[in-house]
Amino acid sequence: MWKDSYLVGVETIDIKHKQLFGYVKELMEALQKDVHADEYRAHISESINFLKDYTMMHFAEEEAYQKEIGYEDAAAHKVLHEKLKLDLATYAFELVKTNFDRYVVKRFLGFIMTWLVHHIGSEDQQIPRGVKTTTYKHIEENIIDLIAIKAVNVLKIITGMHDDEINYAIIETEPISTDICYKVDFINATKRGAGFVFSRKIAKGVLSAMADIDMEKAVYADYDEMVFSAMQEISDIISSKIAEVVREDDKMCSVDVPFRIDADMLPPSVDCVEISTKIGNLNIIIF
């Protein structure tokens, strides 16, 4: 699960990051154990509470380090941390409410794994450099190339794919797919949004890359909700990356929470891009 490509080059931060991945791995292993229900719930509860507490402690230490070195993007980075704290609290409540239902645990694992891989593999890599550059683009401009580039970068970070293993093309026809689709609305961007249509192959490939699971041999039903949750988080990450650099009437755009939808229920597209990789395809529809 842990990869040396996640190293940021600051020993104290790298140690904590390795431990966070270790706790996620332990949680996944606990989910798969065939034990008595009471033992399962106790183990899952302990693992999730420890992961939540450890994350809070690590964020405080990382933010103190950013302040110490004068990291210019510290305020924006803290916003990402605060959002995760809220998400963790929401999941913790839902897990207790459902008595640590396996369905909810799998959704939590898909979410937290994807968030950690991207955040550590991308956002935290900026910290030692001390600065993060952002160039803004007006939403009335054609943003399809920008979205494609952002999506390619996110997938490369999450899967570890190289440039020659992933590419994109603007296409004229919308994909006809019954696979995994999420719709995202851009806030402050009237009638603008995106649909993310993942082939089941790329969805399984992404989880395999993050969790070191051979999805070709695994029983898909054991990981289905983990896959759906991971694709939802990827949709949110890509959309948020776009919102960071897009403005409408000099207002910053933000994104609503992605929700799953049948691909044929998406609004008519303005633009469509197909991202082709060695592990499957992702189509992004702009409407």
pLDDT in tens, 146-155: 888 889 999 9
Q: What total of structural domains would you count in the chain?
A: 2
CATH number for the domain harbouring residue 151: 3.40.1550.10
Q: Are residues 157 and 36 in the same domain?
A: no
CA distances (Å), origin 82, targets 56, 59, 76, 204, 223: 10, 9, 10, 29, 28
Do 227 and 243 share a structural domain?
A: yes
The single-letter code of the amino acid at 49 is N
Domain boundary among 76, 94, 129: 129
Interatomic CA distance for residues 209 and 215, integer angstroms: 10
Domain that holds residue 155: 137-286
Q: Do 19 and 158 fall within a single domain? A: no
pLDDT digits (tens, 9 = 90+) for 170-186: 887 665 555 899 999 87
The larger pLDDT score, comparing residue 269 to residue 136, is at: 269
pLDDT tens readout for residues 82-110 = 999 999 889 989 999 999 898 999 999 99
Helices (H), 70-101: 74-97
Quote the percentage of the chain above a pLDDT of 70: 87
Domain boundary among 85, 110, 129: 129
152 and 272 assigned to the same domain: yes
The two structure tokens encoding residue 160: 């570890």
Question: Which tens digits make up the pLDDT trace of 44-89?
Answer: 888 888 888 888 899 999 999 999 999 988 998 999 999 999 998 8
Q: Which CATH number goes with the domain that contains 37? A: 1.20.120.50
Q: In terms of domains, do 35 and 150 share one? A: no
Query: Looking at 129, 157, 184, which one is the last position of a domain?
Result: 129
Residue 183 and residue 259 in contact, taking contact as beta carbons nearer than 8 Å: yes
User: Does residue 144 share a domain with residue 50?
Assistant: no
Q: What is the pLDDT of residue 212?
A: 86
User: CA 184 to CA 117: how far, in whole Å?
Assistant: 21
Q: How far apart are CA 162 and CA 220, in angstroms?
A: 26
Q: What average pLDDT does the structure give for the chain? A: 84
The span from the CA of 274 to the CA of 59, in Å, is: 36
Given a contact cutoff of 8 angstroms between Cβ atoms, the answer to whether 159 and 237 are in contact is no
- Do 256 and 182 form a contact (C-beta atoms < 8 A)? no
Task: Give the pLDDT of residue 37.
Answer: 78
Domain check: are 201 and 225 in the same one? yes
- The CA distances from residue 172 to 142, 177, 272, 273, 283, in Å, are 14, 15, 7, 8, 12
